[in-house]
């Protein structure tokens, strides 16, 4: 099997102003020396207003941490008040763009069609989309979670070529596990991530499916990350709350790298 380098992505959501962002990145860098980055990719995903400050620290100190954006417009430029173009993000050195996070699907009514358009925009501007999918509690309790996630994945990637799909990262985030402290079991995460890989093989091809990184997200912390990333089809984590604590985020990144602890 092709080996996939783990990715630990810290989604800060709407937390930390630009001064707090600088302090967090500096603390994270101090806790996570360069030796780890051969074995794990670590990215921080701040609010848009922090990105320039984060870029300045990372470039100035030649850090190996990358950074992403929490969303990207489906449009390139023009009369779209409040939106942020992928072209602007690329110019700021952004590597990843989260698309279709459940908070955007829920609070901003983003459908699979919108997520697909944003995924295409990210790819067009050479950003790596982190395409989020995940079921709510009712669907999980009804036992329909595998079918639901596969359908959401297919809707969010509909019509993309295998080459484009190979440039994405997928994040499985069960909505009931986000910010609740109720993490999915490692077996539950593996079940859905394996089904996602199977679906990628169907819509692209085996080599593409084997190369795409699939993250788990939802109440990941330093205590549970080891078991989660130890699963065959879980290639890292999309971390919310624990990414706001630089020591814990460094520790869980080191665990994903296979240790030693910082
Ligand atoms: O994007 C991150 C997720 O929504 C997970 O958030 P959480 O780690 O706070 O549960």
Enclosing H/E stretch for 226? helix 225-229
Q: What is the number of domains present in the chain?
A: 1
Q: What is the pLDDT of residue 32?
A: 95
pTM of the model: 0.98
CATH number assigned to the domain comprising residue 108: 3.20.20.70
Enclosing H/E stretch for 209? helix 206-211
Tell me if 261 is assigned to some domain: no
Ligand 1 shell residues, CB under 6 Å: 11, 101, 173, 178-179, 217-220, 238-242
Tell me if 1 is assigned to some domain: no
pLDDT at residue 72 tops 70: yes
| 215: confidence class by pLDDT, cuts 50, 70, 90 | very high
Q: What is the pLDDT of residue 186?
A: 98
Q: How far is the CA of 11 from the centre of ligand 1 (A)?
A: 7
What value, to the nearest 5°, has the Cα angle with vertex 71 and ends 66 and 74?
120
Plot region of 90 (φ>0 → left; ψ -120 to 50 → alpha; else → beta): alpha
pLDDT at residue 70 tops 60: yes
pLDDT, tens only, 154-180: 999 999 999 999 999 999 999 999 999
Other CB atoms within 10 Å distance of the CB of residue 203: 17
Instruction: Give whole-number Cα distances, 242 to 14, 220, 248, 251, 253, in Å.
Output: 14, 7, 6, 10, 11
Q: Can you tell me the mean pLDDT for 81-85?
A: 98
Tell me if 228 is assigned to some domain: yes
Tell me if 234 is assigned to some domain: yes
| 1: confidence class by pLDDT, cuts 50, 70, 90 | very low
Q: What is the pLDDT of residue 262?
A: 84
Q: What is the pLDDT of residue 260?
A: 87
Annotated active-site positions, please?
101, 173
Enclosing H/E stretch for 68? strand 66-69
Residue 138, token pair as written in the block: 């009712």
pLDDT, tens only, 243-257: 999 999 999 999 999
Ligand 1 atom at minimum distance from 45 CA: 1
pLDDT at residue 48 tops 50: yes
Tell me if 29 is assigned to some domain: yes
Q: Give 163's contacts (C-beta < 8 A, 6+ positions apart).
A: none
| 122: confidence class by pLDDT, cuts 50, 70, 90 | very high
Enclosing H/E stretch for 121? helix 112-124
What single DSSP character describes residue 183? P
pLDDT at residue 2 tops 90: no
Residue 11 annotated as part of some ligand binding site: yes
pLDDT at residue 226 tops 80: yes
Tell me if 196 is assigned to some domain: yes
pLDDT, tens only, 142-156: 999 999 999 999 999
Instruction: Give whole-number Cα distances, 147 to 62, 199, 220, in Å.
Output: 44, 10, 24
Tell me if 2 is assigned to some domain: no
């Amino acid at each position: 099997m092709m080996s996939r380098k783990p990715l630990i992505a810290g989604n800060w959501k709407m937390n930390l102003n630009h001064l707090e962002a600088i302090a967090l990145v500096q603390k994270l860098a101090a806790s996570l020396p360069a030796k780890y980055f051969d074995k794990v990719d670590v990215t921080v995903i701040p609010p848009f207003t922090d990105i320039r400050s984060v870029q300045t620290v990372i470039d100035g100190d030649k850090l190996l941490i990358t950074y992403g954006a929490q969303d990207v417009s489906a449009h390139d430029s023009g009369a779209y008040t409040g939106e942020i173009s992928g072209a602007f993000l690329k110019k700021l050195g952004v590597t990843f763009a989260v698309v279709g996070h459940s908070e955007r699907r829920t609070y901003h009514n983003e459908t699979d069609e919108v997520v697909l358009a944003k995924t295409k925009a990210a790819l067009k501007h050479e950003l790596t989309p982190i395409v989020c999918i995940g079921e709510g509690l009712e669907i999980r309790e009804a036992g329909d979670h595998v079918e639901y996630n596969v359908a959401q994945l297919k809707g969010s990637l509909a019509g993309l070529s295998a080459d484009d799909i190979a440039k994405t990262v997928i994040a499985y985030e069960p909505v009931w596990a986000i910010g609740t402290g109720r993490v999915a079991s490692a077996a539950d995460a593996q079940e859905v991530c394996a089904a996602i890989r199977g679906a990628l093989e169907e819509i692209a091809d085996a080599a593409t499916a084997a190369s795409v990184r699939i993250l788990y997200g939802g109440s990941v912390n330093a205590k549970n990350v080891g078991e989660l990333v130890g699963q065959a089809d879980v290639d890292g984590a999309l971390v919310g709350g624990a990414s706001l604590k630089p020591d814990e985020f460094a520790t869980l990144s080191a665990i994903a790298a296979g240790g030693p602890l910082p």
